[in-house]
Chain A
Amino acid sequence: MNYAVVLAPKFALQALRRSDAALANKPFAIVEGEGCNAHIAAASEHAVGIETGLAVTLAMARCPGLVIRPRDPDAEGEVTRMLLAAAFTLAPRVELTADGCCTVNLQGADDAQTEAQMHACVAELARGGVGARIGAGATPLLAAYAARRADSVLVVHDARAFLSPLPIHFAEPTPVQQEVLRGWGVKTLGELTALPKTEIGQRLGTDGVQLWERAAGESQRVLHLIEPVRTFAAEWTYEPPVESMEPLLFRMRRFAERVALELRGAGRVAEKLALTLLLEDESDHHREFRLPEPGANVDGWMRVLQAHLDTVKTDERVTGVRLVATPARPPERQDGLFDTALRDPVAFWENLARLAAIVGDDRVGTPVLLDTWRPDAVALEKPAEAVSAPEDDLVHPPRGLTLRRFRPPWPARVGLVDARPTSVESDELHDNVRVARGPFHLSGTWWKSGGAWAVEIWHVELGSGATYQLTRTETGWSVEGVLD
């Protein structure tokens, strides 16, 4: 097989249904023309008794509850981008042949691998709300016939056997040609190609020769290739504006599916998502999400986005949404023999992203001490997927109780005798000092202009028996924590 065609039948209807949750399982139809010329251009499978060309008034009388809609160019554009993204997962040479139809040049690709990829492609599109079929064959035309004939994926290996039973309308004869062929008793492509091509040419002219070639699936042409997308973003508007989460999430998922498919088609994953809610008063709410594990899994993205949206309250209604994915290369790694790996990496990274959406990106991760003696100098890093083997026990193990910090520290008034603390008073604490150890002095970056810091630390055992850590800086005393 040299070519494949990705086809979304009933393209305009599918696009409408995909963009509007209210149309699911309802009879609806697309209308064309205006006023008394308005007629049905296409009808969903639930619209029983509605035929193409029927006057709108008649259609509504025939099918009570019929929803009438015009074509939606934005929704169709999204489905087209979905199809193109899916086509780019098969091969890099893709043509947008018509609405809901892409042709892919597969020359040089491995047949078995490509066929498996086609099945994956159809499944992927179905998950994204697009019912598609893929046909493959030696010529673009044969692939197009196969796509029209396929239930899911159809690869034509024997062109003659495949074409013979197909009805003559597959070759798109003109009404005049159709009349002549009917007179000859020719109903299938096989019956037409059984007639000599030159004889057809003598009787039907050059148009007849072209018809014969189309019936034989021989028609070759050069594909008009398009460039794959370089930006991975979606933006859509709500008319009327929305107030609740459901319509927001429904369309967000649809757009995320397309963006994820485009990323996968380009061999990329997302390392960061940026979400902007456009509000009715022309302000916006913007938030960026660093994905702990770069990926193109829509469920994972949606969990992160939904976890954040659950916490968002806006005074104004949402008029539009913008979603931008920052592409990155898929991560590659080689684990060590004694490393501790994850049981379920997908759940691990997704859950971290959800946690980050709730508490903030900078408040979840593995703590790393910064290269300074300054108290509480710590950063949070992305946890390691594989944790290295533990080091040997320390030669000098930690001694004494462990500090538990009060963040922020409690401002305090400290009574001193001979420069040693004797009492502590703060909003939370009021006690005499029984034993005091200190002072322990720390300072740093005194060599930088305006960056110098210095702190004096005391450990004091109070009358209650508990030991607290006091600090004195240039701003005064504070209770920094308890040794617990």
Chain B
Amino acid sequence: MSSSPKTVADLRQLLAARFPQRSRAPVGAVPTEIRALDEALGGGLPSGRFTEIVSASPGTGGQTIIAQLLRATRRARQRIALIDGADGFAPEAVPVDHLRHLVWVRGRHVSDAFTAADILLRDGNYAVVVLDVRGLSERALLKTPTTTWHRLRHATESGAVAVLVLSTSAVVPAVPWRLVLRETVPLESRRIPRAAIADDLVIEIDRGHVEREERSA
């Protein structure tokens, strides 16, 4: 009989060997063309996985990440869906050409956002689905049953869509990647190109997953 695993990594290897269908590795990544983010995630948003970015306070660059992601996916000729939970997206803040591949869902309630996510994650036509829950009632979000998140995660893992959740506090349970934006960007940056601001965002890894090694392998 083999010896019991001593570390979490050993345990993951053991589980992967015994249940290969359960440990499906990400099928690729969608580069965001944001240096800080791509470096943190090891190449971009992992496809078939959730990534959560927590904006600890307003003005930390969450919306700029969406704008840059629109640019990157447009250049890569991919489709993107934005589930805008609190209806905060401002199209006029983005170049017109970066909107042509976007499907914008303007939500009103927490339930709208989750229902829309459930539909879009199974669609198969999008490379990225952004679920922006900032501005929604934090209490309602935290009361969202774990089964709802599990259902969404299952839908994601059975496809190839990269899911980015933008929140103001950690809301996604057992998320493979959780990154935190803490530093506000000052008004003086208004003359700096947006791409440069995005590259210099201070991104902390709150939760990173061993899949990074699997992907590079």
User: Which residues of B from 80 to 137 have beta carbons under 8 Å from A?
Assistant: 86-97, 99-108, 112, 115-116, 119-120, 122-125, 134-135
Q: Which residues of A contact B86 (CB under 8 A)?
A: 407
| Contacts A358-B112, A483-B59 given; does A367 touch B104 at CB 8 Å | yes
Q: Which residues of A contact B105 (CB under 8 A)?
A: 355, 359, 363-364
Asked if A364 and B100 make an inter-chain contact with CB atoms under 8 angstroms apart, the answer reads no
Asked if B78 and A402 make an inter-chain contact with CB atoms under 8 angstroms apart, the answer reads no
Is the CB of A376 closer than 8 A to any CB of chain B?
yes
| Contacts A400-B189, A481-B88, A484-B55 given; does A369 touch B125 at CB 8 Å | no
Interface size class, chain A: 35 or more
Encode A399-438 as 1/0 by CB contact (under 8 A) with B. Answer: 1111111110000000000000000000000000001010
| Contacts A351-B120, A389-B77 given; does A403 touch B90 at CB 8 Å | yes
Is the CB of A459 closer than 8 A to any CB of chain B?
yes
Asked if A358 and B194 make an inter-chain contact with CB atoms under 8 angstroms apart, the answer reads no
Asked if A483 and B191 make an inter-chain contact with CB atoms under 8 angstroms apart, the answer reads no
Asked if A366 and B104 make an inter-chain contact with CB atoms under 8 angstroms apart, the answer reads yes
Encode B11-25 as 1/0 by CB contact (under 8 A) with A. Answer: 000000000000000
Interface residues on chain B, number (Cβ under 8 Å): 62
Q: Which residues of B contact A340 (CB under 8 A)?
A: 77-79, 101
The secondary-structure label for the interface of chain A is mixed
Stretch at the interface among A129-137, A228-236, A322-330, A377-385: A377-385
A306 → B minimal CB distance (Å): 13
User: Which residues of A from 26 to 54 have beta carbons under 8 Å from B?
Assistant: none
* Residue among A354, A390, A437 making CB contact with B74, cutoff 8 Å: A390
Asked if B104 and A401 make an inter-chain contact with CB atoms under 8 angstroms apart, the answer reads no
Asked if B92 and A404 make an inter-chain contact with CB atoms under 8 angstroms apart, the answer reads no
Q: Which residues of B contact A468 (CB under 8 A)?
A: 58
| Contacts A481-B90, A484-B63 given; does A351 touch B197 at CB 8 Å | no
Is the CB of B139 closer than 8 A to any CB of chain A?
no
B58 → A minimal CB distance (Å): 4
Is the CB of B175 closer than 8 A to any CB of chain A?
no
Q: Which residues of B contact A407 (CB under 8 A)?
A: 86-88
Task: State the CA gap A482–B64 with chains docked (Å).
Answer: 11
Stretch at the interface among B35-43, B144-152, B180-188, B204-212: B180-188
Q: Which residues of B contact A394 (CB under 8 A)?
A: 95
Is the CB of B26 closer than 8 A to any CB of chain A?
no
Complex A-B: 9 CB contacts under 8 Å: A340-B79, A359-B105, A387-B79, A401-B63, A401-B185, A403-B93, A404-B88, A482-B58, A483-B59
Task: State the CA gap A358–B107 with chains docked (Å).
Answer: 9
* Residue among A368, A402, A466 making CB contact with B58, cutoff 8 Å: A466
Task: State the CA gap A116–B121 with chains docked (Å).
Answer: 37
Q: Which residues of A contact B44 (CB under 8 A)?
A: none
Q: Which residues of A contact B100 (CB under 8 A)?
A: 366, 384, 387-388
Q: Which residues of A contact B66 (CB under 8 A)?
A: 402
| Contacts A355-B116, A400-B189 given; does A482 touch B95 at CB 8 Å | no
Q: Which residues of B contact A347 (CB under 8 A)?
A: 122-125
Task: State the CA gap A251–B90 with chains docked (Å).
Answer: 43
